[in-house]
Structure 1
Amino acid sequence: MKTSRYLGLLMIISGATLWGLSGPMIQWLFSHSDLTSINFLIVRLISAGSIILGYLFFAKKKIFMVWKDPRDWIQIVIFAVIGMLGAQYAFIETINVSNAVTATLFQFFGPVLITIYVAIQNKKLPSTVQILAVCTALIGLFFLITNGSIENIVLSNRAIFLGVLTMLGFTFYTLHPASLIKKWGTLMIVGWGMFIGGIVLLIFNQNFSVQLLPNTLTNYIFFIMILAIAIGTISFLLYIGSLKYLSPTETSILSSIEPFVAGIVSMTWLNESFGVYQMVGGAFIITAVIFLTMPKKREKLNEKIKMVS
């Protein structure tokens, strides 16, 4: 048990670190080449989706069974276009117009929106801890956008708009495929979601050509692009794999190192600078998400305290 737990810890820490590294790499790509978000996404989604589906195929999983029931494949297509493609495009465009750390923190705000959505859907007020976590996250978001001064907003309107879309996209990405994942498994749904999302984007961007990429990019930039795609795919597989050995609560808490890694890499490699209040805002958002992963345990503890008193 100890060995498997250590393996799970190694997987989630490695996955979160790699995901935190992938953001600055994408930011570097955009600042050192004419690569567009759409072209990068086409390569990223199709290649990552193909890798995941290929892995499942060689593992003798029936990857085409999901297309037999119209109710399933319609939901998969919706997830692929709105969830996978929408969330990924908003995230990468946020990196493009602001920076990797900001995009990662906007993405991290997703669990807060999920908490609010679930409370509305169940027509039940959130717990005290959840309400405090939501308020903490909102304060963090305010500091992130304004750096403590509403008169001197540090993010452009486009960056804020795309950041909000990132939050909404990752919220939809998390909530929508729940029943599909329960039936078919996470890798199956995410693999098809990536592949279909990339194909849809390719259809609407007919000027794209794989052969042109090596010609328009230098060998080094092309290598960094492939490396960023590989790192992003591996980080996801490590995250999913860690769930076999750790609880979702533990993986959620440990994945909070993503923004820290993105921040350190951005400041040391990309020479990014962040205001004090922006860093405080990021810490607030991360703290809120950590608390949101443990509401049930805290509620049970409160109930026990009330019974004793």
Structure 2
Amino acid sequence: MQKTRRIGLLMIISGATLWGISGPMIQWLFQKTELTSSDYLIFRLLLAGLFILVFLLFKGDNIFAIWKHPSHRIHLVIFAVLGMLGAQYAFVETVRISNAVTATLFQFLGPVLIPIYIAIKDKKLPTPMKVLAVITAFIGTFFLITNGSVENLVLSDNAVVWGILTALGFTFYTLQPVNLIKKWGTMVVVGWGLLIGGIVLLLINPINDYQKLTESITFSTMTMFLLIILSGTFSFLLYIGSLKYLSATETGILSSIEPLVAGILTVTWLNESFGGYQLIGGGFIILAVILLTVPEKEIEKGVVASERVS
């Protein structure tokens, strides 16, 4: 038991660290190339989706069975477009406009919004601990955006809008595919979600400036791009795997190292600076997520698992 627990701890810490690293790497890619968020995501979603689905095929899983059910097909497409593509695009655009730490912290607001949605849906007040978590998160968001001064906002209007959309997107794709995940498994749903999201984005906003794209491709940028895809994908697989050995509460707490890793890299590697109140705000948001793991009943594993995607 102790050995399997150590394996679980190693998996979740590694997975959270890899996800925390991926944000600064995306920011570096935007700084060194002329890629747009759409250009980047088309390749990332398509390649990550294919990676997961091919992996499942080699395992012998029937990845096409989900398409035989009309209602499941509809829900899968909705998840792919509004959840997977929507959340990923908002996250990457927040990185591009502001920085990796800000995007990661806004992403962390997703789990905090879930109790609000459930309270409205069930017409029932959340537990005191969840109320405290929500209040803590909003205090943290206020400091993150304003750095303690409402007269001089630290983040631009666009960064705030895309950051809020990031939180809403991650909330949506955490809640919406729960039934699909119970029936078909997380990896099948997420794999198809990534692939469909990439195809839809390619159709809506195709890559037109191939010259600019080829000029951006160097050995260093291509290497970074591949590392981003691998880190995000393996982060997801490690997170899912850790749920076999640890409780959802433990994984929720340990995943809080994501913004810490992103923050350290962004400051030391990318030379970003943050105000004192912004750092306090980040701490409040992380604390809010930790408080959400305290309630009497753990979040169902299938729901929690969908909160980490490549």
Q: Who is 1:165 aligned against? A: 165
Please give the TM-score of this superposition, normalised by the length of structure 2: 0.93
Go from structure 1 to structure 2 and tell me whether the alpha carbon gap of 1:186 and 1:297 turns closer, same or farther (over 3 Å shift): closer
Q: Deviations over 1:275-300 (max 9, x none)?
A: 010000000011011111221169xx
Largest Rg, 1 or 2: 1
Q: Deviations over 1:193-227 (max 9, x none)?
A: 00000011111233358898455322111111111
Q: Within 2, Cα distance between the matches of 1:208 and 1:219? A: 22
Q: Deviations over 1:121-164 (max 9, x none)?
A: 11111111111111111100000000000011100000000001
Q: Within 2, Cα distance between the matches of 1:268 and 1:33? A: 21
Secondary structure of 1:295's aligned partner: coil
Please give the TM-score of this superposition, normalised by the length of structure 1: 0.94
- Give the superposition deviation at 1:27: 0.3
> Aligned letter for 2:249?
T
Q: Who is 2:240 aligned against? A: 240
Identity %: 64
Give the conservation status (yes or no) of the 8 Å contact 1:39–1:208. no
- Runs (4+) off by over 6 Å: 209-212
> Aligned letter for 2:144?
L
Give the conservation status (yes or no) of the 8 Å contact 1:46–1:199. yes
Q: Within 1, Cα distance between the matches of 2:55 and 2:243? A: 18
Counting only pairs closer than 5 Å after superposition, residues 22-37 of structure 1 correspond to structure 2 as: 22-37=22-37
Q: Deviations over 1:233-255 (max 9, x none)?
A: 11111111111111111111100
Q: Within 2, Cα distance between the matches of 1:164 and 1:237? A: 26
- Give the superposition deviation at 1:120: 1.1
Q: Who is 1:305 aligned against? A: none
Go from structure 1 to structure 2 and tell me whether the alpha carbon gap of 1:74 and 1:255 turns closer, same or farther (over 3 Å shift): same
Aligned residues: 298
Q: Within 2, Cα distance between the matches of 1:154 and 1:240? A: 36
Q: Who is 1:72 aligned against? A: 72
Q: Who is 1:257 aligned against? A: 257
Q: Within 2, Cα distance between the matches of 1:238 and 1:209? A: 36
Gaps of 5+ in 1: 299-309
Counting only pairs closer than 5 Å after superposition, residues 92-241 of structure 1 correspond to structure 2 as: 92-207=92-207, 213-241=213-241
Secondary structure of 1:227's aligned partner: helix
Gaps of 5+ in 2: 299-310
> Aligned letter for 1:177?
P
Q: Deviations over 1:17-71 (max 9, x none)?
A: 0100000000011011101111110111111111111111111111000000110
Give the conservation status (yes or no) of the 8 Å contact 2:48–2:194. yes
Q: Who is 2:301 aligned against? A: none
Q: Who is 2:285 aligned against? A: 285
Q: Who is 1:53 aligned against? A: 53
Give the conservation status (yes or no) of the 8 Å contact 2:267–2:273. yes
> Aligned letter for 1:207?
I
Superposed CA RMSD in Å reads 1.5
> Aligned letter for 1:20?
G
> Aligned letter for 2:181?
I
Give the conservation status (yes or no) of the 8 Å contact 2:5–2:246. yes
Q: Within 2, Cα distance between the matches of 1:10 and 1:234? A: 13
Give the conservation status (yes or no) of the 8 Å contact 1:213–1:222. no
Q: Within 2, Cα distance between the matches of 1:205 and 1:56? A: 29
